[in-house]
Amino acid sequence: MFAEERQAEIAELVLTTRRVNGADLARRFDVTMETVRRDLAALEAAGRLRRVHGGAVSADQSTSDEKAISSRKHLNTPEKRRIAQAAFDLLRTSGAGAVVLDAGSTVEALADLIVRTDSTLPDGQEQLIITHALHIAAKLADASGIGLELVGGRVRKLTWAAAGGRAAEHYTRLRPDLAFVGCNGIHAAFGLSTPDPIEAVVKTAIIQTSRRVVVLCDSAKHDQETLMRFASLDEIDTLITDRAPGPELAAALEEADVEVVIA
């Protein structure tokens, strides 16, 4: 195979899988690692990927890149709907009296399902939903069987959510039964991450104070590392995703005793 053909195939792999491993490429094409490094360097120079430790990722990925909530709602919609439905099923059987909903498009899809049903608990009490996300609070404000607590702070226009120390401090005074948390990346070694430091502070507070933590994460975020880690794998209880994690991430999740639900 000519170098141009190999590089074209590598570029196509990065486009479809979002990440490639250098050793895997060497085995796939029966070439040396030095040849793979030259291929990746040429493709990076052409703007077709970005080299990272151990391989490469798609050119549009950055550890500090974050899409606005209005655009994220249109990404991976079928997958996010399945994840949201699995999360809703878990919520309905949990009997949780106080539930945290993090910001994010998949958690918002869960809120859409909550709105369509009466969430009154078996004892006749309202189910308390706690959130720092304005768009989620607006959906739930008049929902049947729901009591709503809005966590305040400085609102990020990008995500429509309160962030930073004030919001985090509010969460540290609570002890919710269940929390549904989103992420921008989940990685075997790095854990859960998000591009923004002030959002990471809030997510950390939610995870550290909740009795049970459920992460909603589509498979495009598997094996990804963004700028700020907000939790290790052993700090979460359940991962709901749309596709089985790869071998390394799956092993790390098992080691951390994380239940994996494939929606």
Task: Read off the pLDDT of residues 190-248 as tens digits, 9 standing for 90 and up.
Answer: 999 998 888 999 999 999 999 999 999 999 899 988 889 999 999 999 999 999 999 99
| pLDDT in the model for residue 154 | 86
Q: Quick one: how far is CA 181 from the chain centroid?
A: 8
Confidence of residue 65 (pLDDT cuts 50, 70, 90): low
With respect to residue 131, please indicate whether it lies within any of the assigned structural domains: yes
Which CATH number characterizes residue 18's domain? 1.10.10.10
Mark whether 89 and 191 lie in a shared domain.
yes
Mark whether 1 and 102 lie in a shared domain.
no
Task: Read off the pLDDT of residues 132-165 as tens digits, 9 standing for 90 and up.
Answer: 999 999 999 989 999 999 999 888 777 889 988 9
CA distance 188 to 207: 18
Residues of the domain holding 146: 67-260
With respect to residue 231, please indicate whether it lies within any of the assigned structural domains: yes
Mark whether 10 and 119 lie in a shared domain.
no
Specify burial of residue 108 (Cβ count, 10 A radius: 0-12, 13-18, 19+): buried
The pair phi, psi for residue 123, each rounded to 5°, is -85, 5
Mark whether 147 and 235 lie in a shared domain.
yes
With respect to residue 170, please indicate whether it lies within any of the assigned structural domains: yes
Confidence of residue 49 (pLDDT cuts 50, 70, 90): confident
Contact at 8 Å (CB) between 73 and 105? yes
Mark whether 45 and 71 lie in a shared domain.
no
Mark whether 71 and 160 lie in a shared domain.
yes
With respect to residue 62, please indicate whether it lies within any of the assigned structural domains: no
Task: Read off the pLDDT of residues 179-205 as tens digits, 9 standing for 90 and up.
Answer: 999 999 999 999 999 988 889 999 999
DSSP letter for 35, please: H
CA distance 103 to 110: 11
List, in order, residues 6 or more apart from 214 with CB less than 8 Å away: 87, 90, 178, 179, 180, 181, 236, 237, 238, 239, 240
Confidence of residue 55 (pLDDT cuts 50, 70, 90): confident
What Å distances lie between residue 260 and 115, 152, 195, CA to CA? 26, 32, 24
Task: Read off the pLDDT of residues 5-43 as tens digits, 9 standing for 90 and up.
Answer: 899 999 888 887 778 888 889 999 999 999 999 999 999
CA distance 204 to 196: 12
Residue 119, pLDDT > 60, answer yes
Mark whether 106 and 197 lie in a shared domain.
yes
Mark whether 95 and 52 lie in a shared domain.
no
Mark whether 38 and 114 lie in a shared domain.
no
Confidence of residue 60 (pLDDT cuts 50, 70, 90): low
| pLDDT in the model for residue 44 | 87
Mean pLDDT of all residues belonging to the chain = 89
Which CATH number characterizes residue 199's domain? 3.40.50.1360
| pLDDT in the model for residue 129 | 97
Q: By C-alpha distance, which of 57, 70, 63, 88 is closest to 196?
A: 63
Mark whether 118 and 201 lie in a shared domain.
yes
| pLDDT in the model for residue 167 | 94
**Higher-scoring residue by pLDDT: 55, 74:** 55
Alpha-carbon Rg for the chain in angstroms: 20
Is the model's pTM score more than 0.95?
no
With respect to residue 234, please indicate whether it lies within any of the assigned structural domains: yes
With respect to residue 235, please indicate whether it lies within any of the assigned structural domains: yes
Confidence of residue 69 (pLDDT cuts 50, 70, 90): low
Burial call 224-244: b when 16+ CB within 10 Å, e when fewer: bbbbbbbbebebbbbbbbbee
**Higher-scoring residue by pLDDT: 261, 124:** 261
Using the Cα atoms of residue 214, residue 192, residue 168 and residue 83 in order, give the sign of their dihedral: negative
What Å distances lie between residue 140 and 66, 133, 144, 156, 210, CA to CA? 25, 11, 9, 20, 20
Query: At residue 230, what is the residue type?
Result: F
With respect to residue 96, please indicate whether it lies within any of the assigned structural domains: yes
Residue 73, pLDDT > 70, answer no
Residue 50, pLDDT > 70, answer yes
Q: C-alpha dihedral over 50, 22, 193, 80, to 10 degrees?
A: 90
Mark whether 40 and 101 lie in a shared domain.
no
Mark whether 174 and 224 lie in a shared domain.
yes
Number of domains composing the chain: 2
CA distance 221 to 18: 9
With respect to residue 251, please indicate whether it lies within any of the assigned structural domains: yes
